[in-house]
Structures are given as structure tokens and as C-alpha cells.
Amino acid sequence: MFQRWKDSITPTDIVMWMIGGSMLLMIVWGSVATLVEGKYTGRHWVDFVIFGLAQGSIYALIATGYTMVYGVLRMINFAHGEVFMSGPFTAYYAAAAMYRTDFLDNHPFMALMVIFLVAMSVSTTIAFFLEKVAYRPLRGAPRLIPLITAIGASFFLQYLFRGLYGSGVQAYPVIKVLEGQWMIFGIRILKFQVVVILAAILLMVGLYSFIMLTRVGKAIRAVSEDKEASALMGINVDGMISTTFVIGGMAAGAAGVLYALMFKQVHFFMGFIPGIKAFTAAVLGGIGNIPGAMLGGIFLGLIESVGPSLFLDGLGIPAPYQLKDAIAFTMLVLVLIFRPTGIMGERLAVKKA
């Protein structure tokens, strides 16, 4: 057994482990130095974690869309960031109208429902037609072709919305009931962060149970495992692929509204960076695996928030938050060195091999 393992090691593996090991060493060294320095108190760390959780749950919701589409089609839907943008950007106009008529302040719950409804239906529609128009005609083409198409579709959607709504930044109206903070177990949490985290958890649980417990969910899982066999079993493969896009679009639309609640700005380019981050999260968690994408998203959010202070401050690196993305992607590299299939990708790798 040991002999077999030893034979399978290549020089590349050793170099990669050395790189990974030295990165780990830096991280541990930096963390210890930061903690010893004592610049941040426990309160600060709790704040960092909460900020990271809120950001991470949005990544997680977008990442599920990437991972589900990868599951059924084996392609990265790079236009997913634009699906995410289209919902809240359209819902902004509903929100602004409700704000002008004071409906937003008088019936905040109803207004939020409307915003969610508008955003999710727009994102869902876009995702549905995206698949119909851009990807379905290319079913069976080499894998590179839909990938390039996805990038093209992404540009198309960005500039379509720029043409529709203009290139400026729109400020989301402030929802008064969500301003301010709550004290939960002696921890100060901003109200909208609680809403964002709870809504994200709710949506993810709903999505996961849909995939695991319903007939349609079972059919989607069957398609992602073997398209031909599922077709032979009487599953409507194209229909299931459409359904996957619809579910991904819904999650993205909801994530978009949560994002707008948190940052209060929308513009036509807003989907690009969250899209890239969510893709990273999906790879981090093991692409094709839904709980993996969720875990990857939250992990990435946490690393971005805690990482710069924890790892870099102690090393005396100036302006560590500029390196936030570098840290996030270093984490990705580290995870992929030691677990090439991602955090939860093991089962998938065995099955699909």
C-alpha cells in the first residue's frame, strides 16, 4: 500500500506540497504574530466573522447556481454574474417607486416581498432564456464552445442592461426597519446582516431540500449523473436542464436583493466581481457539489473578512486589505494543492472518473 502510494508521487507533487507547506507556515506565523500583538480584541474578531458570514452567504447563494449548472452540463456558466445583476437592477425601479410613494416605509415587509418577487422573476427569466438561446443549440458541441458562448452572453447581458438602465450607479432606497442594530447574546449585529444571513440560510435549506427530496430534484440529480441513462428512464433531460437554470436564476436573484440591501448600490457591472468570487467558491467547495458550493461561499467570505487582519497584520505588511483578493485566491490554491477536487468534491471525483 505504502509502496504504491510512494510510486504515484511525482516531483511536481513534491514541489506543490513545498509551496503549500510554506504558505501554511506563513499563515500560521502571521496569525500567531497578530494574536500576540493584541491589536484586535475579541469584539473585533466577532465583528470580522459576522461581516464575513454576511458576505459569504451571498457568495454561497450565487455559487449554487454555478455548481448546479456544472453538475448537469459540465460547463461554467460565466453569464451567471449577470443573471445575479439583472434582478436587483430591475427591482431597483420598483423599490424607488415604492420609496417615492412612502409605501416602502409604511409597509416594509410587503415592499420587500415585492422587491424579492420582481428581482427573482427577472433573474429567473433571464437565466431561462439564456439557456434556451445561448446554450441549448450548442448541446453536444465541444466543451470549449459553450464556455466561450457564456463569456459572450455575459458581455451581451452587461451591455444590454447598460443600454436599458444607463451606465450610472443607482442608490437603493434605505429601508428604515432594517437600519440600526440588535444585541444578540451580547454581540452587536446590524439588522440587515441578520436578515441577509437568515434569508440566505433559509434559501439554501429550501434549495437543498428541493434537490434532495422532490421528484424533480431527483431527476436533476439523475441527469447530472448520466444524461443518456436518464433519458432512457423517461426523464425529460432538456426540461431538467431548464429547471436547473431556473432554480439557479432564482437563487441569484434573491442573492442580488440581499446584496443590494447590504451595499445599497446597483449598476450594470455589479455582477462581475461577485460572479468571479462565487465561481471561486464553487471550485473551492468542489464544483458540482451543492453543499460544497455553500460551504465554499461562506469560507471565502470569512477568509476575505478575517484573513487580511489575521494573516498579514502580524507580518507587518502595510495596508493588508488591499491583498484581500490575493488571500482569497491563495486559499483556493492551497485547498486545490491538498485536495484537488475541492473541500467536498471527493465523492464526485470517484463517480465521474
Closest to another protein by CB, 124 or 154: 154
Name the minimum Å distance from CB 55 to another protein: 5
Closest Cα partner for 77 from 64, 86, 90?
64
Binding to another protein, residues 268-287 (CB under 8 A): 269, 272-273
Name the minimum Å distance from CB 202 to another protein: 21
Closest to another protein by CB, 40 or 208: 40
Q: Select from 45-53, 110-118, 232-240, 243-251 the region that touches another protein (CB under 8 A).
A: 45-53
Q: Select from 5-13, 20-28, 216-224, 312-320 the region that touches another protein (CB under 8 A).
A: 312-320
- The Cα–Cα gap between 351 and 143 comes to 20
Name the minimum Å distance from CB 91 to another protein: 17
Angle at 282 between CA 272 and CA 314, to 5 degrees: 85
Alpha helices in the chain (DSSP H): 2-7, 11-37, 42-73, 80-100, 103-106, 108-130, 144-165, 191-213, 215-225, 227-232, 237-263, 272-285, 290-307, 324-338, 346-352
Q: Which residue has the cell 453543499?
A: 291
When binding is defined by CB under 8 A, the residue of 9, 24, 43, 226 that contacts another protein is 43
Closest to another protein by CB, 53 or 73: 53
- The Cα–Cα gap between 57 and 116 comes to 17
- CA quadruple 117, 123, 126, 131: dihedral positive or negative? negative
Q: Select from 25-33, 141-149, 279-287, 306-314 the region that touches another protein (CB under 8 A).
A: 306-314
3-state secondary structure at position 133 = helix
Binding to another protein, residues 185-204 (CB under 8 A): 188, 190
Q: Select from 39-47, 225-233, 241-249, 290-298 the region that touches another protein (CB under 8 A).
A: 39-47
Q: What string of DSSP letters covers 11-51? A: HHHHHHHHHHHHHHHHHHHHHHHHHHHT-S-HHHHHHHHHH
Binding to another protein, residues 313-332 (CB under 8 A): 313, 318-322, 324-325
For residue 266, the surrounding DSSP H or E stretch is strand 265-266
- Other residues' Cβ atoms within 10 Å of the Cβ of residue 103: 15
Q: What would the grid cell of residue 330 be?
A: 491563495
Name the minimum Å distance from CB 11 to another protein: 26
Q: Is 44 in the site for another protein (CB under 8 A)?
A: yes
State how beta strands 170-171 and 187-190 pair.
unpaired
When binding is defined by CB under 8 A, the residue of 265, 315, 339, 349 that contacts another protein is 265
Closest to another protein by CB, 118 or 306: 306
Binding to another protein, residues 225-264 (CB under 8 A): 259, 262-264
Q: By rule CB under 8 A, what count of residues binds another protein?
A: 40
Closest to another protein by CB, 208 or 329: 329
Q: Do 227 and 241 contact (CB within 8 A), yes or no?
A: no
Instruction: Output phi, psi for 173, to 5 deg.
Output: -65, 150
Closest to another protein by CB, 49 or 75: 49
Site string for another protein, 148-187 (x = CB under 8 A): --------------x----xxxxx--x-------------
SS3 per residue for 168-199: CCEECCCCHHHCCEEEECCEEEEHHHHHHHHH
Contacts to another protein by CB under 8 A? 39-40, 43-44, 47-48, 51-52, 55, 162, 167-171, 174, 188, 190, 259, 262-265, 267, 269, 272-273, 304-306, 308-309, 313, 318-322, 324-325
